[in-house]
């Protein structure tokens, strides 16, 4: 199973990127997790006559992915612009072909409630895009505790276990949706 992970934070030491790095390093047997690079993705603009190269590459990654993992930071109680921007670009493909019906897992690290508010907003966006989010288990991590080291790497065993459980559930969910 080919899984594409997309992080809504662009910081190298992002705790949300740390969640995705942990997921990538612990991909279940028979699966690979690639983390997309959003650093060169411009804001979606319908006036652009040609897609930038970075966008074309990202859209190809989404197309070939069997499932997605969205690392969802919370900015002002909502979705980070970098993550929403990727979904906006991908949704503009004819008939939403890149996203429609694709299974997706959500995870995020943020303040006291993790990124629960942003993830619930993201679930609303998933409905519009016909993405199929995994309902449980949910992964919310507090980014301002000792769950992460100074480089944003996940070191909390409970959260690590939650991610492993979510990855197994995502693969099962994706397999069910393919039937």
Q: Give the pTM.
A: 0.96
pLDDT tens for each residue of 47-78? 998 999 999 999 999 999 999 999 999 999 99
Query: Per-residue pLDDT tens for 146-166?
Result: 999 999 999 999 999 999 999
The answer on pLDDT for 168 being more than 90 is yes
Write the DSSP symbol of residue 91.
Answer: H
> If DSSP codes are grouped into helix, strand and coil, which group holds residue 114?
coil
Phi and psi (nearest 5°) for 104? Answer: -145, 140
Q: Is residue 94's pLDDT more than 80?
A: yes
Question: Tell me: the pLDDT tens digits for 73-89?
Answer: 999 999 999 999 999 99
- In the structure encoding, which two tokens stand for residue 159, read together? 């959260």
Local structure of 103: helix, strand or coil: strand
Report the alpha-carbon distance of residue 165 to residue 10 in Å, rounded. Answer: 26
In the prediction, which pLDDT does 179 show? 72
pLDDT for position 112: 83
Amino acid 163: pLDDT: 98
- DSSP code for 44: P
Report whether the peptide linkage leading into residue 137 is cis, meaning its omega lies within 30 degrees of zero.
yes
Closest listed residue to residue 84, CA positions, set 133, 127, 125, 24: 125
């Amino acid at each position: 199973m080919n899984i594409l992970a997309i992080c809504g934070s662009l910081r190298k030491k992002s705790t949300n990127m740390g969640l995705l790095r942990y997921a990538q390093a612990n991909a279940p047997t028979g699966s690979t997790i690639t983390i997309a690079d959003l650093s060169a993705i411009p804001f979606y603009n319908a006036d652009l006559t040609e897609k930038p190269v970075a966008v074309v590459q990202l859209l190809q990654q989404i197309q070939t992915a069997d499932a997605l993992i969205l690392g969802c930071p919370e900015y002002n109680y909502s979705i980070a612009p970098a993550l929403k921007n990727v979904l906006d670009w991908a949704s503009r493909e004819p008939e939403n072909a890149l996203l429609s019906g694709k299974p997706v897992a959500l995870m995020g690290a943020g303040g006291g409630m993790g990124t629960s508010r942003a993830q619930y907003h993201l679930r609303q966006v998933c409905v519009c895009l016909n993405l199929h989010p995994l309902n449980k288990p949910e992964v919310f991590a507090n980014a301002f505790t000792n769950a992460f080291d100074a480089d944003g790497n996940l070191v909390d065993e409970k959260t690590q276990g939650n991610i492993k459980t979510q990855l197994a559930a995502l693969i099962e969910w994706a397999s069910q949706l393919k039937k």
